[in-house]
Structure 1
Amino acid sequence: MKALVHEGTELKIKEMEEPKAGKGEVIVAIKSAGLNRRDLYIPNRRGENPEPLILGSDAAGVIESAGEGVSHFSKGDEVIINPALRWYDNSDAPPEGFDILGMPDHGTFAEKIVISAEQVEHKPKHLSWDEAGVLALSALTGYRALFTKGQIKRGETVFIPGAGSGVATYLIQFAKNVGAKVIVTSRNENKRKQSESLGADIALDTNSDWGKELKDEEIDLVIESVGKATFNRSLDVLKKGGRIVTFGATTEDVVDLNIRKFFYGQYQLFGSTMGSRQELRAMLEHLENFDMHPVVDSTFSLNDAKEAMDYLEKNKQFGKIAFTFDQ
């Protein structure tokens, strides 16, 4: 089967051995797979490694076969992959044994994948293949950050720097679905307009004076994923006693924090990573209840993977990027 692998120091399309389903496993023929920023970083983290690794965490496809003991999926079932490995029940932090699909395990950028049946869910019927293929990692990350950790409520205001990211497009929709007010930022005027079309109430230029622009707003919750470039600016516009959830750092990940200012402000800081299967299922139910659709910016063939990765690295996208498979 054809797959995108990191081998040695290169990314390449390579013929890999077709997978076989063992006990409790299924083989999924991939229809669409989502590109995440994590996929950009893995080659650097692996360095020079002679063992080929199939990249990719997100995908949707069709069950091709099921191994012994699999009773809740059958050949032909349409499914999505849950990339949060071995985290089943909601908990304060991931359990021992938790990994994200795509390293060290082989990932989804291939024509087929073999995976535990515990890591697949039925595809929401209202989603296209491309929408389903880009869903799980970003939407689950956003769902846990906003609801489990952030505890957003109807009538509250959430502030989201970096409006163009895949997670941000889910956050905007999740928050609006439950009656929250949404404020986002972006340097790109088109992304600000797209955010407003998606439901954002206010879309600020990242380079503007946030304090001045938001002087009449009471921000209850900040969802931060940018890192050093915006963390303290975000904290400055958060109301006293407000909540800030961080799940990423697309800029530098070491932040200087005025701890006296922080404790006098009675702020609450939460870290968040991915989410449990319990939260994934709640997120899927949310999508179906609100007839919500992921934002797919663009699609590429697997042969154009390097072009897709360059597009993502330069932050050209609004929403998610999908690889499509003709099968």
Structure 2
Amino acid sequence: MKAVVLNRETENKIELKDLTLQALGEEEVRIQIKAAALNHRDEWARQGLYPNLKDGAVFGSDGAGVVVEVGENVDKAWIGKDVVINPAMDWGNDPKAQSKAFHILGIPSNGTLAEFIQVKADRIHLKPSHMSWEEAAALPLAGLTAFRALMVQGRLQPGEKVLVTGFGGGVAQFAAQFASAHGAEVYVSSSSMEKIKSAISHGIKAGFNYRDEDWAMQAIGEVGGFDLVIDSAMGSTLDNLIQVLNPGGRLVFYGATKGNPMGFNARKVYWNQLSIIGSTMGTDEDFERMLDFVITKKITPVIDQVFELNDALEAFERMKQGLQLGKIVIRI
């Protein structure tokens, strides 16, 4: 089978290679992948910024396809079913936080950027029928991350005012869509006016350019404050996010792409009874609830661009440039 693998000996660090299918385990299913989607972790692995890297491992955490074979202990009724894959592996029994064994499908293990993949049967779910293959492939990792950040850690309620930062990436796109579908009043921030205009065209109330030094004061003047902020940057942005929170507000962050904050307004946090909460991926129950939510609300992912498997390098380069508005998908 053809697969996109890590090869740090090459100039671009990736290689399209023919691999031999492994024997199918008793609890596994073999899926013919129809489409896969990139996440930042794929590009970080290509850049050598991810732990436990090994050459020859297949990229990709997101994927959708057709079950073509099942292991001895798997219900044969799965054969021929259209499915999406839950990439959150070995969360554990505690819904509050993942176990030490938790990992994400894809590098350093073999992932979805291949013609076939084998996963345990408990990782698959029926593909939402209202989604195309490309849309379904774009959903799992980012959709799960956004859903847990909003609904579980953020405890979003209808009518609340929500700010989603860094609009343009997959998780932020889903967070904005999910919050709107749940009845919240949603705002975004971005450094790109084009992305802000796109958000507004998709029903978002307004957006703020976080490169403007006074964007926080603009937001307070226009909105009054936010009940919930969803962020993935941290770093020096933290003080502004604390500033725009209403008393009793919650700040949920699922990443720290700008690094650790140098300090923050501790007095405002305790005086205004603010909560700062971490979040990542989600439990199997979170994934099932997320799927039910997108099916009930008929939510479809925002697709930035679709590439063919032979053009995987172009897809990675687009991810590296950070110009995408929505998910980058590779058709297999």
Name the TM-score, length of structure 2 as normaliser.
0.93
Name the CA shift for 1:158/1:277 in 2 (closer, same or farther; >3 Å): same
2-structure distance, mates of 1:295, 1:272: 22
2-structure distance, mates of 1:26, 1:52: 22
1-structure distance, mates of 2:225, 2:52: 49
Name the CA shift for 1:293/1:46 in 2 (closer, same or farther; >3 Å): closer
Aligned-residue offset at 1:260: 3.5
Q: 1:163-220: CA deviations, max 9, x gaps?
A: 1111111111111111101110112122111111222111122223221332242310
Matched, 1:3 2:3: yes
Q: Give runs of ≥4 in structure 1 deviating > 3 Å.
A: 45-51
Residue pairs, 1:102-251, within 5 angstroms = 102-208=106-212, 209=214, 210-215=216-221, 216-251=223-258
2-structure distance, mates of 1:94, 1:50: 24
Count of residue correspondences: 325
Name the CA shift for 1:65/1:88 in 2 (closer, same or farther; >3 Å): farther
Root-mean-square deviation (CA), in Å? 1.8
Q: 1:41-65: CA deviations, max 9, x gaps?
A: 1231468966411111000000010
Q: 1:23 aligns with which of 26, 43, 48?
A: 26
Tell me, yes or no, if the aligned pair for 1:90 and 1:279 is still in contact at 8 Å.
no
- Please identify, of 121-130 and 71-80, the stretch whose mean Cα deviation from structure 2 is larger: 71-80
Q: Report SS of the residue matched to 1:292.
A: coil
Q: Report SS of the residue matched to 1:59.
A: strand
Tell me, yes or no, if the aligned pair for 2:252 and 2:278 is still in contact at 8 Å.
yes
The amino acid that maps onto 2:114 is: A
Tell me, yes or no, if the aligned pair for 1:4 and 1:14 is still in contact at 8 Å.
yes
Tell me, yes or no, if the aligned pair for 1:20 and 1:27 is still in contact at 8 Å.
no
- Please identify, of 6-15 and 294-303, the stretch whose mean Cα deviation from structure 2 is larger: 6-15
Query: Is there any run of 5+ residues in structure 2 with no aligned partner, and where?
Result: none
Name the CA shift for 1:221/1:301 in 2 (closer, same or farther; >3 Å): same
Aligned-residue offset at 1:124: 0.5
- Counterpart for residue 299 of structure 1: 306
Q: Report SS of the residue matched to 1:23.
A: coil
The amino acid that maps onto 1:291 is: K
2-structure distance, mates of 1:181, 1:47: 38
- Counterpart for residue 265 of structure 1: 272
The amino acid that maps onto 1:175 is: A
Identity within the alignment, %:
37
Name the CA shift for 1:154/1:225 in 2 (closer, same or farther; >3 Å): same
Residue pairs, 1:57-72, within 5 angstroms = 57-71=61-75
- Please identify, of 225-234 and 268-277, the stretch whose mean Cα deviation from structure 2 is larger: 225-234
The amino acid that maps onto 2:124 is: V
Q: 1:261-299: CA deviations, max 9, x gaps?
A: 432332101100001111111111111111110111101
Name the TM-score, length of structure 1 as normaliser.
0.94
- Please identify, of 261-270 and 75-84, the stretch whose mean Cα deviation from structure 2 is larger: 261-270
Tell me, yes or no, if the aligned pair for 1:20 and 1:114 is still in contact at 8 Å.
no
Aligned-residue offset at 1:229: 4.3
Aligned-residue offset at 1:21: 1.6
Name the CA shift for 1:254/1:106 in 2 (closer, same or farther; >3 Å): farther
Aligned-residue offset at 1:75: 1.7
Q: Report SS of the residue matched to 1:104.
A: coil
Aligned-residue offset at 1:225: 0.5
Tell me, yes or no, if the aligned pair for 1:160 and 1:223 is still in contact at 8 Å.
yes
Aligned-residue offset at 1:120: 0.8
Name the CA shift for 1:47/1:57 in 2 (closer, same or farther; >3 Å): closer
- Please identify, of 209-218 and 187-196, the stretch whose mean Cα deviation from structure 2 is larger: 209-218
- Please identify, of 205-214 and 276-285, the stretch whose mean Cα deviation from structure 2 is larger: 205-214
